[in-house]
Amino acid sequence: MRIATRGSPLARWQAERVAALLGDDAELVVVETSGDKRPDTPIHEMGGTGVFVKEVQQAVLDGRADIAVHSAKDLTSEPTPGLVIAAVPERGDPRDALVGSTLDDLRTGAVVATGSVRRRAQLAALRPDLGFAELRGNMETRLRKAADFDAIVVAAAALDRLGLDEHITERMATNVMLPQVAQGALAVECGEDDDATRARLVAIDDADLHRSVDAERAFLAELGGGCDLPVGALARAKGDEIEVEGLVASLDGRIVLRETVNDTDPESAGRALAEALRFAEELT
């Protein structure tokens, strides 16, 4: 199985994890993405979601790879023509993690480093006194930079997967910091007409998790945003229903709107949540 992936340690871990789940020998097709080529540029200045996946997807479209493995949060909310998300096999801890200090222990005027406008907006709402700095690079680079700030914020799942969870000072509850759409989930794409590969990937798909990620992605698609917009969501399967909680905030964190919607259809739940938050925004 030829697996297209970015070259970072986390991306390789994810690709190898999918290979292990499939029980196949794998050849990694390592691809450098637009986001990798500009490590010092804030993600929202490069166009937001999608900068870490387009070249990886192209490897499948060109026939250089059979599947592409991504952090699901890096995917654009709209489907890529010619590809399908055939499996969402597992999700790590979806929460955000503070490294260097707990939220309560941060001094007045502390500087927190994060490249995410979603994280900045929610932290600013909780602690208007905080200052913020940009943070990019692979996880090892981010951890090295942590000493330059009072704290940094990263995805807990990334540290868990790399065996670096001892650096976590606080895992932030989702009622305090709602995660990015699909954070912690793996997504596996293949060609939409590649029936044989799709059939193999179905065997490792977690149906309830896939529905939850579909709901979160539908929410983001309906809003028409990416990681350049302070948006968060987290969905959970509850029997036949999907419960999805979402957030939209102003960049400065002065306005933070949250709603929760339940529906049996994931995409309907996501769209309804987006409409509810649009209506709430109009009332502010």
Residues carrying an active site annotation:
74
Helix, strand, coil percentages for the chain (3-state, nearest 5)? 35, 25, 40
First to last CA, the chain: 52
| Strand ranges across the sheet with 151-155 | 131-133, 111-113, 151-155, 96-99, 170-171
Q: How far apart are CA 154 and CA 98, in angstroms?
A: 7
E strand map for 38-150: 67-71, 83-87, 96-99, 111-113, 131-133
88 φ, ψ (degrees, to nearest 5): -120, 90
Q: Which residues pair with 243 in a beta bridge?
A: 236, 262
Which CA distances in Å does 115 have to 39, 42, 118? Answer: 11, 6, 9
Find the angle CA(137)-CA(173)-CA(85) to the nearest 5 degrees. Answer: 60
What are the structure tokens assigned to 120, written together? 């900045």
Amino acid residing at 218 = A
